């Protein structure tokens, strides 16, 4: 049994507009008003940071229970770093969470585990929840290195991080080859890897903390595969790119997750996937 509930985060990347904010909030407002939102369900959107404040205002105005987050912060706290955003600014703008180390940041902007570590610490210090993104490439998967890669990414990014009372951390498992490919991994794979991530977290931060950290799956989540993924006991949430840009699709996914609410806190009976990691 766990108290982690379920969480959906939309990652708009370099997409979106004022119109999309309106459309998504209208759809979500309907989804959230048509049925009682479960207490242990959280919904968040990370638009481009220029839209954050307006999105927060629109959500408050429409009474939609929505968290708004950023997609990245600087490793610096202030100074001559043109184009950057600090953790303090993100907090001040009203963000509840912020992505760290998304694979596009790692591959396109040379972010490494060391910078992830700095960002995780800065965000936790501000009380903004870091969503640490980790994941292996296809080549690493086929060379049987999934566990090794995830372990390194977690260890290096979380070194020296402690979660004191009230501080939170989310992990997003995003296999690089699944992102934007149209092919999510099978729920069995997601479950196996997530439970391995939880074991790795237990080694790093202790079993108590590991059992409280929400682990999200990301990579080509759609309204057709979301329900089977979110139903896995160690898949505590979904990080959704493309499908979060379609207001109706995003709403459908939220409704599907609500439909699971009565069983959020109960262990699901699933077949054992223990061998997946060794076979990967
Ligand atoms: P996708 O993106 O859902 O479009 O695959 C997920 C992500 O990159 O966070």
Q: What's the pLDDT score for residue 276?
A: 44
- Residue located nearest, by CA, to atom 6 of ligand 1: 241
Q: 146-158 vs 187-205: helix axis angle to the nearest 10?
A: 40
Contacts of 122 (CB under 8 A, 6+ apart): 73, 75, 77, 86, 87
pTM for this entry: 0.92
Cα 138 to ligand 1 centre (Å): 16
Residue among 220, 252, 255, 259 at smallest CA distance from 238? 220
Give the pLDDT score at 260: 77
Contact 28, 254 (CB under 8 A): yes
Q: Is 188 a catalytic residue?
A: no
- Concerning whether 102 is annotated as a catalytic residue, the answer is yes
Find out whether 130 and 98 touch, Cβ atoms under 8 Å.
yes
Spell out which residues line ligand 1, taking CB within 6 angstroms: 11, 174, 179-180, 218-221, 239-243
CA 153 to CA 205: how far, in whole Å? Answer: 14
Q: What is the mean pLDDT of each run of 10 residues along the chain (280 residues)?
A: 84 97 89 66 95 94 90 98 98 98 97 97 96 98 97 96 89 98 97 97 94 97 96 96 97 87 46 40
Distance 80 CA to ligand 1 centre (A): 32
Q: What integer pLDDT is reported at residue 41 of this predicted model?
A: 85
**Quick one: pLDDT at residue 33?**
63
Considering the candidates 27, 102, 136, 194, report the single residue annotated as catalytic. Answer: 102
Extract the runs of DSSP E, i.e. beta strands, from the chain. Answer: 6-11, 41-46, 67-70, 97-100, 129-134, 170-173, 214-218, 237-240
């Amino acid at each position: 049994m766990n108290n982690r509930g379920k969480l959906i985060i939309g990652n708009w990347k370099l997409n979106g507009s004022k119109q999309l904010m309106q459309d998504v909030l209208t759809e979500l407002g309907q989804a959230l008003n048509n049925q009682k939102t479960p207490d242990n369900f959280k919904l968040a959107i990370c638009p481009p940071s220029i839209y954050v404040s307006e999105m927060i205002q629109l959500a408050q105005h429409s009474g939609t229970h929505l968290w708004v987050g950023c997609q990245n912060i600087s490793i610096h706290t202030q100074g001559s770093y043109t184009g950057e955003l600090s953790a303090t600014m993100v907090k001040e703008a009203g963000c509840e969470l912020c992505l760290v180390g998304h694979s596009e940041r790692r591959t396109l902007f040379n972010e490494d585990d060391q910078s992830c570590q700095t960002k995780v610490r800065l965000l936790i210090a501000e009380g903004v929840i870091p969503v640490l993104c980790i994941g292996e490439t296809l080549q690493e998967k086929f060379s049987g290195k999934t566990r090794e890669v995830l372990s390194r990414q977690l260890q290096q990014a979380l070194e020296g991080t402690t979660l004191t009372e009230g501080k939170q951390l989310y992990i997003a498992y995003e296999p690089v080859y699944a992102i934007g490919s149209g092919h999510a991994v099978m729920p069995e794979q997601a479950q196996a890897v997530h439970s391995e991530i939880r074991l790795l977290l237990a080694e790093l931060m202790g079993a108590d903390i590991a059992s409280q950290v929400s682990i999200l799956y990301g990579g080509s989540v759609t309204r057709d595969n979301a329900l089977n993924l979110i139903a896995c006991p160690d898949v505590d949430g979904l990080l959704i790119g493309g499908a979060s840009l379609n207001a109706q699709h995003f709403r459908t996914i939220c409704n599907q997750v609500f439909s699971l609410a009565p069983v959020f806190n109960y262990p699901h009976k699933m077949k054992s996937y223990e061998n997946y990691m060794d076979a990967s």
